[in-house]
Amino acid sequence: MTTVHVAGRGIVGTRLHRLLAESMPVMLHDGRWRDVTGTSPGDVVVLAHGGPVADRVRALAARGLHVVTVGDSIPDTVSLLDDPPAHLGTSIVLGAAMSPGLSGLIARHLANQLASIDEIHIAIHGTAGPSCARVHHRSLNGLSPGYRDGQWIDHVGGSGRELCWFPEPIGAKDCYRARISSPYVLQRAFPDVARISARRSARRRDRFTAWLPMLRPPHPEGGVGGLRVEVRGSDASGGRQVAIAGIAELVGTAAAATAAAMVTGLLDGLLHEGIVVAGDAELPTVDLLARVERHGVRLQEFTGIPQP
Predicted confidence at residue 32, as pLDDT, reads 85
Residue percentage of the chain with pLDDT more than 90: 82
Looking at the chain, the domain(s) classified CATH 3.30.360.10 span 102-253
CATH number of 102-253: 3.30.360.10
For 139-164, the pLDDT digits (tens) are 898 899 999 999 999 999 999 999 99
Q: pLDDT higher for 36 or 108?
A: 108
Looking at the chain, the domain(s) classified CATH 3.40.50.720 span 4-97+255-294
**Overall residue count recorded for the chain in this entry:** 308
Predicted confidence at residue 305, as pLDDT, reads 64
pTM here is 0.95
Which band of pLDDT confidence, cut at 50, 70 and 90, is reported for residue 128? very high
For 164-176, the pLDDT digits (tens) are 999 999 999 999 9
CATH 3.40.50.1860 fits 4-97+255-294, yes or no: no
Distance, in Å, from the CA atom of 241 to the CA atom of 301, rounded to the nearest integer, reads: 14
